[in-house]
Structure 1
Amino acid sequence: MSTTSVIKSVFTRSAIIKLVLGWGSFVALTVAGGALNGALSTPVLFTVLAAIVAVILAAASGVVTEAEHLAEKLGDPYGTLVLTLSIVLIEVILISAVMLGPGEHATIARDSVMAVAMIILNLVIGTALLVGGFKHRDMRPNKSGVSAYLSLLVALITVAFALPALIGDDGAYTPAQAIPIIALTVVLYAFFLARQMGAQRADFQEVVAVADQRAGAALTGVPANPQLGAEQLTPDAQTSQLADALANHKPELIARGLLLVAMVVPIVLLSHDMAALLDDGLDRLGAPVALSGIIIAMIVFLPETITAIRAALAGEIQRVSNLCHGALVSTVGLTIPAVLTIGLLTGQTVTLGEGATNLLLLGVSLLLTLTTFFGRRVTALHGAAHLFVFVLYGITVFQ
């Protein structure tokens, strides 16, 4: 495919409109910053907020489109990693920027990652399982992949929230504690990525249902392997698919990757700029300030949420796990070392230790994830249970 053809196929009219809309809104918001910092009437305040959210939704749909094109070309887990890492890396940059800005932000990383954890583990997964469960009666995740994610999450969440509350200084690691924690977290996350994209990549691919195996056995005359059952994986053509994509579609992959990042950045920037307006609006409504972080986290991870729900509707339950559990592993695995490093270099206090209530909810969320994904199949009922826990989290925010 020629360069001109690639440009025409990637930079469509719709993509250009969404790109211009996102960056144009950010520029307009930056220029009007002085006026927006003043006292706005309540109707004007919520009108501006609604306009920002509408722009973010439009940009998010563009991100989802590019991510799906990349996932189709690269296959899993590479395709979902593109979307996950692009959003998580920008989220880390956003938290770092807040930390390095004026004012005290000792708990910004803790509050942000906690909100992301509850949103992903319960709201996004709950919604995906609910809508997917109504449409598909036989959604079966790859238990090996989910088990790998949960193992990482148990270790990383312990390091992020529980351990500093027990051994830290008022919930913050001392420098002597932070240095080995940074090193261990980086090594564990790097090892996870290497295994996910290498020797264990089959653990993160969709499984074949028993019915499909039996149908294949009937056609070929070869009995299905009773030892494998529903865990029998699809034929492993991942390496050849990736090689083919890099060999034959490299210009398109680069163009779509750049366009995806270019659409993600204004989403995060707009979310950051609207934080002050959101805080003001919630204050006028008498809502807790912590709700601001939750809403911003929901908006930042909106592209991944939309993609996960679409995957559930298509019956791709392992892709839902890759998007959600993979995003949370990346968020904790990248954010904790980053903020601890910034704290060491700048002398800032980084408070990570969580309270008993949030630790309980995190523990319940992980246990619920275990019971959901290690059953014979996942259903809409599992999704309802996850949404129930998220509602409980929302109740605690208002206490």
Structure 2
Amino acid sequence: MREYGRMCEDHRMVVRLGSRVLQWTTVTPVAAVILLVLTWGRDLPGLVVALVTLVLAGAVLAAVHHAEVVAHRVGEPFGSLVLAVAVTIIEVALIVTLMIDGGDKSATLARDTVFAAVMITCNGIVGLSLLVASLRHRVAVFNAEGTGAALGTVATLATLCLVVPTFTTSAPGPEFTTFQLIFAALASLLLYGLFVTTQTVRHRDYFLPLTQHGEVITEDEHAEAPTTRTAMVSLGLLGLALVGVVGLAKGVSPTIESGVSAAGLPHAVVGVVIALLVLLPETIAALRAARRDRVQTSLNLALGSAMASIGLTIPAVALASVWLSGPLVLGLGATHMVLLALTVVVGVLTVAPGRATPLQGGVHLVLFLAFLELAANP
């Protein structure tokens, strides 16, 4: 009888393992990598581009799922950090590969993509998260200390890397000299590393979600944490999904560029499309957290992604510029500098009280829409 019970338990384990293997979140990352191998370096016809785009979207959603599994296992704020770094790896890989292949026309790609990421995260994701949370729970509550520290770091990095080059005089145009670029890259890494240490070690409580009464939530009562084995499997599948997203997005990038040119839109729109694509996992995860009244988690995701986008992308393109022959334009124009300044001011006014209503969410969303409109019609 005991042997029969053991056999039944083994059978149930096999069934559970089989069902897990056949889940779309498991199949999609593997399919994305296989499709990447089959299409790498080839000119893709329209039907194949449609298939690649479909699998790419599935890989993005799978990446969100597995990142959330890992995040649930390690807890906040480590979970937000996992997804922010993962998304930034996608962005950095896309930017560097497109800059290598693009020649002079990609000189502003890093600037356009990083600035788009800042606008999407600090206005789009923040605005949507505050709006969803405040409409659902009347008021969105978060920790002003942690969020303010994140916003201050983002503002410093954005100004140092995207505004200062416009006003330097050592190099012609809105560019850094080699030594200036090295300093900006090292300063970005230093600030990002200092923030991560603050977020995860010294002042972790500042980045934990709060209840409506301002009490810190240390555990997620909605679901039991996954096992270490499940989290490790999800971590591996997350890596596969990211490889698939990067490679497939690289494959459809010529279609994106030709579509932008055919529509008569500025080349900067390519950077906006790339940023929208790679930040889709962050957006979905942030909205899910906001619906569960975990606004601090949403803000950790948004501002953490903005910070990682600058703090990791600028050093990466600085290193890539060693073998890139074309110029590297980082300085923003006057219109974008105004948008960045207004974003920082509005962000400070939003963060300071530690509570937000739908009005604050709406203001950030209007700024995001203004950015999109000016990107298409500068």
Q: TM-score, normalised by structure 2?
A: 0.86
Instruction: Compute the displacement of 1:379 (Å).
Output: 2.4
- Aligned counterparts of 1:73 and 1:5: Cα–Cα separation in 2: 24
State the AA in 2 paired with 1:183: L
Q: Distance in 1 between matches of 2:307 and 2:161?
A: 12
Post-superposition offset of 1:348: 4.7
Residues 10 and 252 in structure 1, CA contact (< 8 A), matched pair in contact too: no
Q: Which SS does the other structure have where 2:216 is aligned? A: coil
C-alpha displacement of 1:7: 6.2
Q: 1:171 aligns to what SS in structure 2?
A: coil
**Cα distance in 2 for residues equivalent to 1:25 and 1:195:** 40
Q: 1:318 to 1:192 in 2, by over 3 A?
A: same
Offset at 1:200? Answer: 1.0
- Mean Cα displacement is larger for which, 248-257 or 168-177? 248-257
Cα distance, 1:5 vs structure 2: 9.8
Alignment of 1:210-249 (within 5 A): 210=213, 230=214, 232-234=215-217, 249=227
Q: Which runs of 5+ in 1 are unaligned?
A: 37-44, 211-229, 239-244
Question: In 2 relative to 1, CA 12–67 (structure 1 residues): closer, same or farther, beyond 3 Å?
Answer: farther
Identity %: 29
CA contact (8 A) 2:20 2:26 kept: no
Q: Which residue identity is paired with 1:131? A: V
The residue correspondences of 1:1-399 to structure 2 (distance < 5 A) are: 11-30=21-40, 33-36=42-45, 45=46, 50-101=50-101, 103-104=103-104, 105-168=106-169, 169=171, 170-210=173-213, 230=214, 232-234=215-217, 249-344=227-322, 346=324, 348-375=326-353, 377-397=355-375, 398-399=377-378
CA distance in 2, matches of 1:191, 1:60: 29
CA 1:292–1:48: 2 relative to 1, 3 Å: farther
2-structure distance, mates of 1:304, 1:195: 21
Contact map agreement 1:195 1:201 (CA 8 A) in 2 = yes
For 2:128 and 2:17, how far apart are their aligned partners in 1? 36
User: Against the structure 1 CA distance between its residues 290 and 102, is the aligned structure 2 distance closer, same or farther, given a 3 Å change threshold?
Assistant: closer
Q: Any idea what the Cα deviations from partners look like across 1:185-239, whole Å, max 9, x if unmatched?
A: 22222121122110111111012332xxxxxxxxxxxxxxxxxxx3x4346x89x
Task: Tell me if structure 2 keeps the 8 A contact 1:146–1:373.
Answer: yes
Q: In structure 2, what is the Cα distance between the partners aligned to 1:234 and 1:311? A: 13
Are the aligned partners of 1:10 and 1:256 in contact in 2 as well (CA < 8 Å)?
Answer: no
Structure 2 distance, partners of 1:60, 1:190, is 26
Quickly say closer, same or farther: Cα 1:4–1:76, change in 2 above 3 A. Answer: farther
Q: Structure 2: 5+ residue runs without aligned partners?
A: 1-9
Taking the aligned partners of 1:175 and 1:281, their CA distance within structure 2 comes to 34
Task: Report how many aligned residue pairs link the two structures.
Answer: 360
Q: 1:99, 1:281 → 2: CA distance?
A: 18
Measured after TM superposition, the shift of residue 367 of structure 1 is: 1.6
Change (3 A) 1:371 1:278: same
Deviation of 1:8 (Å): 5.8
Deviation, structure 1 residue 273? 1.8
Structure 2 Cα separation of the partners of residues 271 and 344 of structure 1: 24
- Cα–Cα, structure 1 residues 51 and 184, in superposed 2: closer, same or farther, change >3 Å? same
Q: Is the 8 A contact 1:119 1:298 kept in 2?
A: yes
Indicate if the aligned counterparts of 2:30 and 2:241 stay in contact, CA closer than 8 A.
Answer: no
